[in-house]
Homo-oligomer: A and B are copies of this chain.
Amino acid sequence: MVTKQFKGSPEEAADLRRADSLAREIFSDVANKWALLIIETLGERTLRFTELRNGIEGISHKMLTQNLRMLERNGLVERSVHPTVPPRVEYTLTEPGRGLRATVDGMCDWTHRYLGHIEAARDLFDA
C-alpha cells in the first residue's frame, strides 16, 4: 500500500517493510464483505449477537462469530459479557472501529449514488 520513497538506515527500512506488511494484513482482514457489513450495522449502537445476526441478511452463525473475533482481536469492536442467565453479550465499535465505519459509510453512499450508472454499465456489458 504505497510505500514511500525515503533515505534512511537499513533498520528504518526494515521497520517500514514490517509496517507495510502489517498494514497489508490489516487491510486483508478488514476488506471483506462480512467484516464491513458488521462494522456498518453496528454503527453508533451497541448490539447483541442475535440482533447483529438478524440485522445482517444472509450471514451465518459461524461467519458472524468468526468475524467478530477477528474485529475484537484488532481492537475494532469491544465485547462485553453480562454474566446473567441467559447470557447477554453486547458488541460496540471502539474509536478505531468508528473511524473505519466512517469510510464504510462512504462506500455505502457511493453504492447508492452510482446504482444507476452501474446497472446501466452492466446491461451494456452483458450485451
Q: Which of B74, B107, B115 contacts A100 (CB 8 A)?
A: B107
Shortest Cβ distance from residue A35 to the other chain B in the assembled complex, whole angstroms = 9
Structural contact, B31 and A33, CB atoms closer than 8 A: yes
User: What would 19 more interface pairs be, CB under 8 Å, given A32-B32, A73-B126, A103-B106?
Assistant: A2-B40, A22-B118, A23-B115, A26-B115, A27-B33, A27-B37, A27-B108, A28-B33, A30-B107, A31-B31, A31-B33, A32-B33, A73-B122, A73-B125, A75-B118, A75-B124, A75-B125, A99-B113, A103-B110
- Chain B neighbourhood of A113, CB < 8 A: 99
- A22, A74, A103, A126: most-surrounded residue (chain B CB, <10 A): A103
- Chain B positions within 8 Å of A111 at CB level: 1, 23, 26-27, 30
Counting chain A residues whose Cβ lies within 8 A of the other chain, the interface size class is 35 or more
CB distance from A76 to the nearest CB of B (A): 8
**A117 at the B interface (CB under 8 A):** yes
- Chain B nearest Cβ from A40, distance in angstroms: 7
Task: List, in ascending order, chain B residues with CB within 8 A of A32's CB.
Answer: 31-33
Per-position 1/0 for A53-92, Cβ under 8 A of B = 0000100000000000000111110000000000000000
Report Cα–Cα, A114/B2, bound state, in Å: 16
